[in-house]
Structure 1
């Protein structure tokens, strides 16, 4: 689906449910929606451990969409939600003015990963699987996310849950997380992901890894003007992350920010009042 407007809706704008494969959500406007703007994949057993491979949500693309002022009535929903999916690409979207998280990927707090999450208080009575979920090889890249977490707290610019082998969160520009726990927030059970080449500005913490159940992540080559962060995870590789002083952003950070958000062919989706932030107005 391309070049549509989704507005004044009482539920999600677009929902790609169980078995959705090879779909494209490209170049649309989402605004004034009660719940999530775009949802790909669900959170039930049929999603994380399907009996039939045709039920897997895979090979879907969400790109160059403008998602603004959604979650109007259900403030705990998000701009773009990715549940249990394989090879979902979320790229070059503009996500802003939200009460809660901008982009969320993964689900389950590690409870349905192979071996489960024995430290999570909600695990009693749940089945323990010996096989991984369908969450893997997702790409969350080159998105521009700003003015989020305006109402609620336990969220961030980009939020993740559970093991997602091969998943990469890269090239995103996050600006003005008003409350919340972090610009980059891998939560319970997040594992086997790479968080690289992101630019994070004006946030409570640029990174929030708060518990040992978060493990085997690579966090590298990110840029921020906020020195505060948490890393209480297990086997977290941290390297070449830069804290910028006095607004002197390196040229590479400027390029990442300039490349984020809508690509030129979709710039007309932005309204004059959207005020997308520029990290380096001089074009450094």
Structure 2
């Protein structure tokens, strides 16, 4: 009798679309509630440092140092390939995250994939290969994110290897209205001359229902804006009569606002002086082109530093320092 021919296994990425996977956390907490991680050092690790996912809520990550890890610093929310789950009420505060993404370059200091009522506050994130803080799902996951806050963080020296990112990078739907959407306020995002295209506060990938208020951005290609690859129907646009959003032209394009994004009280350095943009009814209406080139990998080098050597934040220019103090 003829023996059946063995069936060939399908290789990853062959045939149907490949399933997105995420590097797991070295210290991973699933369905965890009311756990506090405080005063720890996460160093010399071969994956993400900390993961809070699969319906983990009301946890606190406070006062930790994360350095020299293969992927990102803190991962939380609905982690790809997951498509559902509610992770709410988590707080990430007072952490120092630097020199991460040693092997996996598309790494962020903090990645909030899809959560509710999350607070990211008073963290310092610096010397990372991609974005400092990334808030948004890995795919079009609507109806999950609500009431998230990114407050008073210090972010600098981002996008050391990969472009098309930013100091604080938002993507996707952040809520259903401005009342329950994301708030980005009181952050200082500076000193990132690396790469061809990076934005201080990057409202990218159809970002909706986000309020950006009272931040300082300096030394990025653009201060605030993003590209509008629509994931769904457009959202209404809301503009304030007085904005402190500095705009400067670069060879990469013009910063643009997205439908459903609110920017106010934003401070930017442009040409060595603070500049207030004119009211919206006096500005010429330009189209909002997508100015994102394809991300490219710069010459690889290791971003290693001794874990005890926490880099001091650069001093803000005098004009920005006075403006932040006055708020």
Bin of the TM-score, shorter chain as denominator length: 0.7 to 0.9
Counterpart check, 1:233 vs 2:248 = no
Contact 1:81 1:104 in 2 (8 A): yes
Counterpart check, 1:96 vs 2:126 = yes
Instruction: Provide the C-alpha distance between the structure 2 equivalents of 1:217 and 1:4, rounded to a whole number of angstroms.
Output: 43
- The answer for the alignment partner of 2:141 in structure 1 is 112
Where relative contact order (Cα < 8 A, 6+ residues apart) is larger, the structure is 1
Instruction: Provide the C-alpha distance between the structure 1 equivalents of 2:75 and 2:229, rounded to a whole number of angstroms.
Output: 29
Instruction: Provide the C-alpha distance between the structure 2 equivalents of 1:245 and 1:182, rounded to a whole number of angstroms.
Output: 14
Distance 1:35 1:92, change over 3 A: same
Counterpart check, 1:49 vs 2:66 = no
Distance 1:215 1:150, change over 3 A: farther
Please say which of residues 6-15 and 202-211 is displaced more in the overlay: 202-211
Instruction: Provide the C-alpha distance between the structure 2 equivalents of 1:194 and 1:217, rounded to a whole number of angstroms.
Output: 11
Contact 2:99 2:128 in 1 (8 A): yes
Instruction: Provide the C-alpha distance between the structure 2 equivalents of 1:235 and 1:3, rounded to a whole number of angstroms.
Output: 38
Describe how 1:22-41 pairs up with structure 2 within 5 A: 22-41=58-77
- The answer for the alignment partner of 1:160 in structure 2 is 170
Contact 2:213 2:263 in 1 (8 A): no
Counterpart check, 1:278 vs 2:303 = no
Describe how 1:104-143 pairs up with structure 2 within 5 A: 104-109=134-139, 111-113=140-142, 132=143, 134-143=144-153
Describe how 1:249-264 pairs up with structure 2 within 5 A: none
- TM-score, with length taken from structure 2: 0.65
- The answer for the alignment partner of 1:186 in structure 2 is 203
The structure richer in helix per residue is 1
Larger radius of gyration: 2
- The answer for the alignment partner of 2:90 in structure 1 is 60
1:280 Cα deviation after fit? 4.7
1:240 Cα deviation after fit? 5.2
Name the count of aligned residue pairs. Answer: 239
- CA-atom RMSD in angstroms: 2.8
- TM-score, with length taken from structure 1: 0.74
| Cα-to-partner distance string for 1:139-168 (whole Å, 9 max, x where unaligned) | 011100001101111211111111112211
Instruction: Provide the C-alpha distance between the structure 2 equivalents of 1:217 and 1:11, rounded to a whole number of angstroms.
Output: 40
- The answer for the alignment partner of 1:266 in structure 2 is none
